[in-house]
């Protein structure tokens, strides 16, 4: 694993859930499943995309809402409610601004069909190439450290 290249991931979640995750320094994916989290390694980067403002509500967001780096190799479960025990990973989130996906659609390689651009996000978790990550991160991190 020493020579493994850094990978770049997109996790899809509502903006309200993403902001809660930032506050706690954690990532959850695909309604708390562990398998997506096992694909990430310490040092990988993650970007959150929020199609909706609030979980279970129709208000659109269509923004990248968080960006960070996988902090360690630990994957752990957390009992949120009596019936819900999701898996989590620790993430170091960067101070960033939320950015709309709309101006980026034609430039992102992960979106093969520009007419149906939302399709890859339906999976909830997927890998992107470094240039897609750089396009998104450059805009999210712009002017945040000035």
Q: Residue 22: give the domain boundaries.
A: 8-138
Bridge partners of residue 48, in order along the sequence? 11, 66
CATH number, domain with residue 49 = 3.10.590.10
pLDDT at 66: 98
Residues with Cβ within 8 Å of residue 14, at least 6 apart in sequence: 50, 51, 52, 53, 54, 55, 56, 61
List the pLDDT tens digit at each of the 146 positions of the chain.
567 899 999 999 999 999 999 999 999 998 889 999 999 999 999 999 999 999 889 899 999 999 999 999 999 998 888 988 889 999 999 999 999 999 999 999 999 999 999 999 999 999 999 999 999 999 999 765 44
Q: Where are the beta strands (DSSP E) in the chain?
A: 8-12, 26-27, 45-52, 60-77, 87-93, 99-100, 125-128
Bridge partners of residue 49, in order along the sequence? 12, 64
Asked if residue 144 is part of any domain, the answer here is no
- CA–CA–CA angle 119, 130, 2 (5° rounding): 120
Asked if residue 3 is part of any domain, the answer here is no
Asked if residue 1 is part of any domain, the answer here is no
Cα pseudo-dihedral 16, 69, 128, 54, rounded to 10: 0
C-beta separation of 69 from 44 below 8 A: yes
pLDDT at 144: 55
Asked if residue 97 is part of any domain, the answer here is yes
Residues with Cβ within 8 Å of residue 65, at least 6 apart in sequence: 15, 18, 19, 48, 49, 50, 98
Number of domains comprising the chain: 1
Asked if residue 2 is part of any domain, the answer here is no
Count of positions (residues) in the chain: 146
């Amino acid at each position: 694993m020493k020579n493994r290249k850094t990978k770049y991931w997109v996790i899809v979640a509502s903006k309200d859930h993403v902001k809660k995750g930032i506050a706690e320094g954690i990532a959850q994916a695909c309604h708390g499943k562990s398998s997506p989290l096992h694909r990430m390694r310490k040092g990988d980067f993650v970007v959150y995309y929020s199609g909706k403002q609030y979980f279970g509500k129709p208000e659109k967001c269509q923004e990248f809402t968080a960006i960070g780096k996988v902090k360690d190799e630990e994957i752990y479960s957390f009992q949120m409610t009596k019936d819900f025990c999701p898996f989590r990973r620790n993430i170091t989130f960067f101070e960033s601004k939320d950015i709309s996906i709309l101006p980026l659609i034609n430039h992102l390689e992960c979106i093969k069909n520009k007419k149906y651009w939302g399709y890859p996000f339906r999976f909830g978790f997927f890998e992107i190439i470094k240039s897609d990550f750089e396009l998104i991160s450059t805009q999210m991190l712009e002017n945040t450290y000035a």
